[in-house]
Amino acid sequence: MSQFQIFSDKEIESLRKGGKILRACLDLVESMIAAGMTTKELDDAAEKFILSEGGKPGFKGYRHFPNTLCTSINEECVHGIPSGRALKEGDIISVDCGVIFDGLYTDACFTASVGKISEEAAKLLKVTLQCLKNVVALVKKGVKVGDISATVQQTAEAAGFHPVRSLTGHGLGKTLHQFPDIHNVGEAGTGAILPANTLIAVEPIISAGSDMVVTGEDGWTLSTKDSALCAHFEHTLLILEEGCEVIA
């Protein structure tokens, strides 16, 4: 799909319902995060909850991904596969999840601390979340994709951090990833113009060090090239005539 998908009022209601399931799922997972908890336990709880609410996991089986959640720890940026690995005091963990409801996708992510974390890690989480908040405040009909990219880049770099250049946000709806790609670096005033009643997933993925990633042995997990910490926050946003609605 090389153009924006525009949603009907009925589809928007379905997206809101899917987003509600996704938000509640991530709230549940966040409440479970503690030293000693395994990422597989988080994944099992998420899948059980989504199914109990009438949704379907959006990631499981997508391009053969094996799980409901992506659980990425410390230097891992995205696509970490849940396993028997136990969380440790001082870790940070990014939890990314998608939900399908009435055939439509929503997608969201947060990064959480496990107990007490370093000052650098705490700053990284705060700045990455601020990147997302700044985009939410910016986005409305008529904004260009490059405006989003520039906002994320400027917010991160002003704090001494670096957006991961190869990882992007995206349009979504009937498929998980569709037009447009939304980079976390870019030039304001460039790119496609956002119409009303379309859906985008905005996801600042910010490194405390290198902006380059390497692929792990599992073929999925992407980590910073220099093993620096990485944080990731994501919302699914519905574009409105004025402003936007956080769907998930």
Q: Give per-residue pLDDT as tens, 5-22.
A: 999 999 999 999 999 999
Task: List the chain domain ranges.
Answer: 9-246
Model pLDDT, residue 170? 99
Q: Give per-residue pLDDT as tens, 165-183.
A: 999 999 999 999 999 999 9
Say how far apart CA 201 and CA 41 lie, in whole Å. Answer: 26
Model pLDDT, residue 118? 98
Q: Give per-residue pLDDT as tens, 47-105.
A: 999 999 999 999 999 999 999 999 999 999 999 999 999 999 999 999 999 999 999 99
CA distances 159 to 47, 68, 127, 234, Å, are 36, 33, 7, 19
What's the mean pLDDT when you consider all of the chain? 98
Q: Would you give the DSSP letter of residue 105?
A: E
What homologous superfamily does CATH list for 9-246?
Creatinase/methionine aminopeptidase superfamily (3.90.230.10)
Is the pLDDT at 34 greater than 70? The verdict is yes
Beta strands 199-202; 235-239: pairing state: antiparallel
Buried b (16+ CB within 10 A) or exposed e, 11-31: bbebbebbbbbbbebbeebee
User: Which of 44, 47, 63, 66 shows the shortest CA–CA distance to 55?
Assistant: 47
Q: Give per-residue pLDDT as tens, 190-215.
A: 999 999 999 999 999 999 999 999 99
Model pLDDT, residue 93? 99
Model pLDDT, residue 79? 99
What is the mean predicted confidence (pLDDT) over 30-59? Answer: 99
Helix (H, G, I), strand (E, B) or coil at 204: coil
Model pLDDT, residue 120? 98
Find the Cα–Cα–Cα–Cα dihedral 107, 88, 220, 60, rounded to 10°: -40
Contact call for residues 192 and 180 (beta carbons, < 8 A)? yes
